Chain A
Amino acid sequence: MTDVTDKRSGKPARSGIDASLFYNPTARGIVYQGALLIGVVMLIWWLQSNAATNLAALGRSTGFNFLNQTAGFNIGFSLLPFDRTSTYLDVYLVGILNTLLVAVIGIILATMLGFVIGIARLSPNFLIRKLAAAYVEIMRNMPLLLQLFFWYFLALNALPGVRQSYELPLGAVLNQRGLYLPLLQSDDRFLILLGVFVVAVIGAILWRRRQIRKMEEKGERRPVLLPMLGIILIPTIIVYFIAQVPVAFSVPELTGFNYTGGFVVPPELTALVVGLVVYTAAFIAEIVRAGIQAVNYGQVEAASALGLKDSDRLRLVVIPQALRIIIPPLTSQYLNLTKNSSLGAAIAFPELVNVFMGTAINQSGRAVEIVGLTMAVYLTFSLITSLFMNWYNSRVALVER
């Protein structure tokens, strides 16, 4: 901002006709910005003190000390141990984790589906192209809440009751109450195995980089994929047999009303993820299509002229240029998906808005504090996603020479 002002009126400032601070554009800029900052801070302070005064006048307790009190209710699906003696802080954490879970799974799946549909929209095959177009137009033009109800009640009605459950391979069970998966049970030796696996993956990635550097130096192709698999799998399997890692599965069994044991994916989670993915993928598909079409066709021709094969042409020439256009709008779709996950409250998925702004707000009565804490979470998620995507964007941005 000050740069522009400087350029526009830079001459008088530098020529020293009037060098007083009052006429210095930079100094004035700083003063304006400072005044605005003070104004905003005072506004926030005024709102806060006004709310505190009025809440006190209404005879209501305020403050964050309720976070350490016992919540006294149960949460149906949680990644942390949770029971009725847990505190409101635990409720907050469980809600955040569940929201994060939906957001992360949703973003990954929506990106994959969105890219596939987006590329399908450019397919030379009439049927594929039109089907993709129909998908996009239908999915992005219906309210998300409606779609969530559709998926949720579809799942409930399509799946069998507990006693008529589908028995899947490996002891997994599928019914109205969810997908019951066998849960891996092991001891500390499993952690060693996991460590070896992670180290092997890192090693494989480093090795791939080295191979690519060599390829660029010498100009000849070398095998990459198969050796990478070898680097990852061979040490892992050797360690597995040497350490004799015990592997057992807790298999779901029907006891009384429901299956117990194993890991349960409730229908609420499935419906929410499917709904969010299907909806957001329609938008992502359009972004991808627009991004690819924006790459000048001359680039493809130039790549062919250089002798790049089909897959390399897409991977090395078209996609990198398309990504520059795709990334910024893609970021806002990721943010939308994260925020839209709050609609899960309507179909009983215990994400942040359901457990914290729904149940906790009612049991504790601390509306202002809880709404503030909840907004802070979504703001933080959004800013972190933005930061990451901005960093990625700057990496793939066109470097002008």
Chain B
Amino acid sequence: MKKLMITCAVAAAVATTSTAAFAQLLDEVTERGYLQCGVTEGVPGFSFPDDNNNWTGLEVDFCRAMAAAIFDDSEAVRYTPLTSQTRFESLANGNVDVLSRTTTWTMSRDTDLGITFTGTMFYDGQGFMVREEEGITSATELSGAAVCIESGTTTELNAADYFATEGLDLSNAVVFVNQDEVVQAYLDGRCDVYTTDASALAAERSGFPDPDAHIILPEIISKEPLGPSVRSGDTQWFNIAKWTLFAMLNAEELGVTSENVDEMLGSDNPEIRRLLGVEGDFGTPIGLSPDWAYRIISQVGNYGELYETHVGPETAIDIPRGVNNLWTEGGVMYAPPIR
């Protein structure tokens, strides 16, 4: 019912959206004094409210980085938890300024929903989790299994595609609207298999009563580049979001961290000097101050720091850096130069 009402409200909002949607969003946000950021309802490591009800996570820090660049205050963010079903409408209608919510970048979403993806924050892929006692070692043995899925996700389609390609039977799909019920139903034994992005599987498993009783199967059946997105049509805002991520990647590549950023201001390396706004002015063309990247790195950190803090091997979520490493380290994270 809640969902129905939200969707109706969204439909009504579509009907009355004026041309204001195409004004410069940066001016609107600056005037408002805070950034409205769309996040998940709670995925550990990505966006999750901690014990004090503060949002933390990799994707939350992206919003904090944008706020740092715009306001010089990484705390000037308000978070809106969105369901899978309502996220695109919320962004397209301006209820949130940026969507940073474990959202897979696909062609139809990028071109047909009135939103634009700004980059990839985390290269993910869909996996399967089963109980260890089943003795399953490969996803190809899953024919006829009851599969718990969250609705309104690419997960649902990928699973259907994979089972069809492998000639497996997926007549036992159990589709929930909310992530919490999916996990609960899997734990209660309604399903043999729980499928979603491998990162989310790892994150959820870290919260299980007995994490070791569950295994994630080796098959990764899809490409899931997760990234932030903004409303289409506002190039300036698009550039701010895009280069916020690139600044954090470039900072890691150049060895600039939140610890040493003040020392790095005196660096002789021209790339670092350009990044931190000591040399040249790359902020003004996108409506920000010249030291926009310095603000991001000093208040939030570089990409590597965020990864280690929220999802890296040192955390309970324990996802190896893998493809999410820098291109110089054997991964695929690559940012265009700031010059």
Give chain A residues whose Cβ lies under 8 Å from the Cβ of B108. Answer: 365
Identify the interface centre among B15, B88, B176: most chain A CB within 10 Å of its CB: B15
Is A348 a contact of B157 with CB atoms below 8 Å?
no
Interface residues in B148-187 by Cβ distance below 8 A to A read 151-153, 156-157, 159-161, 163-164, 170-178, 181, 184-185
Is B112 a contact of A345 with CB atoms below 8 Å?
no
Interface presence of B254 (CB below 8 A)? no
Is B152 a contact of A268 with CB atoms below 8 Å?
no
Is B178 a contact of A346 with CB atoms below 8 Å?
yes
Interface presence of B145 (CB below 8 A)? yes
Query: How far is A260 from B181 in the complex, measured between Cα atoms in Å?
Result: 25
Interface presence of B1 (CB below 8 A)? yes
- What is the distance, in angstroms, from A108's C-beta to the closest C-beta of chain B? 23
Interface presence of A211 (CB below 8 A)? no
Is A346 a contact of B176 with CB atoms below 8 Å?
yes
Query: How far is A73 from B175 in the complex, measured between Cα atoms in Å?
Result: 11
Is B14 a contact of A367 with CB atoms below 8 Å?
yes
Interface presence of A171 (CB below 8 A)? no
Is B114 a contact of A157 with CB atoms below 8 Å?
no
- What is the distance, in angstroms, from A342's C-beta to the closest C-beta of chain B? 6
Give chain B residues whose Cβ lies under 8 Å from the Cβ of A84. Answer: 160-161, 164, 170
User: Given that A73-B160, A348-B185, A371-B11 are contacting pairs, would A260 and B175 also be in contact in the complex, using a CB cutoff of 8 Å?
Assistant: no
Query: How far is A372 from B7 in the complex, measured between Cα atoms in Å?
Result: 11
Beta-carbon nearest neighbor of B130 in chain A: A257
Query: How far is A54 from B157 in the complex, measured between Cα atoms in Å?
Result: 29
Q: From A110-118, A323-331, A351-359, A381-389, give the one contacting chain B.
A: A351-359
Is A362 a contact of B172 with CB atoms below 8 Å?
no
Q: From B119-127, B188-196, B277-285, give the one contacting chain A.
A: B188-196
Interface presence of A186 (CB below 8 A)? no
Interface presence of B146 (CB below 8 A)? yes
Query: How far is A73 from B304 in the complex, measured between Cα atoms in Å?
Result: 37
Give chain B residues whose Cβ lies under 8 Å from the Cβ of A54. Answer: 14-15, 17, 21
Interface presence of B80 (CB below 8 A)? no
Is B85 a contact of A50 with CB atoms below 8 Å?
no
Query: How far is A54 from B170 in the complex, measured between Cα atoms in Å?
Result: 39
Interface residues in B98-156 by Cβ distance below 8 A to A read 108-109, 111-114, 134, 142-146, 151-153, 156
Query: How far is A164 from B38 in the complex, measured between Cα atoms in Å?
Result: 44
Is A346 a contact of B190 with CB atoms below 8 Å?
no
User: B184-222 vs A: 1/0 string, CB under 8 Å?
Assistant: 110011101000000000000000000000000000000
Interface residues of B, CB < 8 Å — how many?
A: 60
Query: How far is A50 from B11 in the complex, measured between Cα atoms in Å?
Result: 12
Is B190 a contact of A358 with CB atoms below 8 Å?
no
Query: How far is A373 from B202 in the complex, measured between Cα atoms in Å?
Result: 38
Give chain B residues whose Cβ lies under 8 Å from the Cβ of A58. Answer: 21, 92, 114, 231-233
Interface presence of A258 (CB below 8 A)? yes
User: Given that A156-B190, A161-B189, A371-B7 are contacting pairs, would A359 and B152 also be in contact in the complex, using a CB cutoff of 8 Å?
Assistant: yes
Is A358 a contact of B151 with CB atoms below 8 Å?
yes
Give chain A residues whose Cβ lies under 8 Å from the Cβ of B21. Answer: 54, 57-58
Interface presence of B4 (CB below 8 A)? yes
Query: How far is A358 from B1 in the complex, measured between Cα atoms in Å?
Result: 12
Interface size class, chain A: 35 or more
Interface residues in A170-221 by Cβ distance below 8 A to B read 176-177
Interface presence of A101 (CB below 8 A)? no
- What is the distance, in angstroms, from B114's C-beta to the closest C-beta of chain A? 3
Query: How far is A157 from B184 in the complex, measured between Cα atoms in Å?
Result: 11
Is A362 a contact of B151 with CB atoms below 8 Å?
yes
B88, B144, B178, B185: the one within 8 Å of A260 (CB):
B144
User: Given that A256-B143, A346-B177, A363-B157 are contacting pairs, would A50 and B112 also be in contact in the complex, using a CB cutoff of 8 Å?
Assistant: no
Interface presence of B332 (CB below 8 A)? no
Interface presence of B25 (CB below 8 A)? no
Interface presence of A347 (CB below 8 A)? yes
Give chain B residues whose Cβ lies under 8 Å from the Cβ of A267. Answer: 190
- What is the distance, in angstroms, from B127's C-beta to the closest C-beta of chain A? 18
Beta-carbon nearest neighbor of A51 in chain B: B15
User: Given that A256-B143, A345-B3 are contacting pairs, would A55 and B14 also be in contact in the complex, using a CB cutoff of 8 Å?
Assistant: yes
Is A59 a contact of B4 with CB atoms below 8 Å?
no
Is A357 a contact of B7 with CB atoms below 8 Å?
yes
Interface presence of A10 (CB below 8 A)? no
Interface presence of B10 (CB below 8 A)? yes
Interface presence of A128 (CB below 8 A)? no
Query: How far is A260 from B146 in the complex, measured between Cα atoms in Å?
Result: 12
B145, B159, B177: the one within 8 Å of A258 (CB):
B145
Is B157 a contact of A343 with CB atoms below 8 Å?
no
Is B15 a contact of A361 with CB atoms below 8 Å?
no
Interface presence of A153 (CB below 8 A)? yes
User: Given that A59-B232, A74-B170 are contacting pairs, would A367 and B156 also be in contact in the complex, using a CB cutoff of 8 Å?
Assistant: no
Give chain B residues whose Cβ lies under 8 Å from the Cβ of A367. Answer: 7, 10-11, 14, 89
User: Given that A359-B152, A362-B85 are contacting pairs, would A354 and B175 also be in contact in the complex, using a CB cutoff of 8 Å?
Assistant: yes
Query: How far is A145 from B178 in the complex, measured between Cα atoms in Å?
Result: 13
- What is the distance, in angstroms, from A255's C-beta to the closest C-beta of chain B? 7
Interface presence of B95 (CB below 8 A)? no
Give chain A residues whose Cβ lies under 8 Å from the Cβ of B323. Answer: none
Interface presence of B84 (CB below 8 A)? yes
Is B4 a contact of A342 with CB atoms below 8 Å?
yes
B4, B171, B189, B233: the one within 8 Å of A156 (CB):
B189
Is A257 a contact of B4 with CB atoms below 8 Å?
no
Give chain A residues whose Cβ lies under 8 Å from the Cβ of B171. Answer: 74, 76
Give chain B residues whose Cβ lies under 8 Å from the Cβ of A343. Answer: 1
Query: How far is A73 from B173 in the complex, measured between Cα atoms in Å?
Result: 9
Interface presence of A75 (CB below 8 A)? yes
- What is the distance, in angstroms, from B177's C-beta to the closest C-beta of chain A? 5
Q: A74-B159, A348-B181 are in contact. List 12 more A-B contacts (CB 8 A).
A: A50-B16, A55-B114, A57-B21, A60-B113, A149-B181, A176-B190, A257-B146, A267-B190, A346-B177, A347-B181, A368-B14, A371-B8
16 residue pairs from A and B, CB less than 8 Å apart: A54-B14, A59-B111, A59-B233, A61-B112, A74-B170, A76-B172, A156-B190, A255-B144, A256-B144, A340-B1, A342-B1, A353-B3, A354-B151, A359-B152, A363-B157, A367-B7
For the complex of A and B, the 8 pairs showing the least CB-CB separation, nearest first, are A58-B114, A362-B152, A156-B188, A257-B145, A358-B151, A51-B15, A84-B160, A348-B176
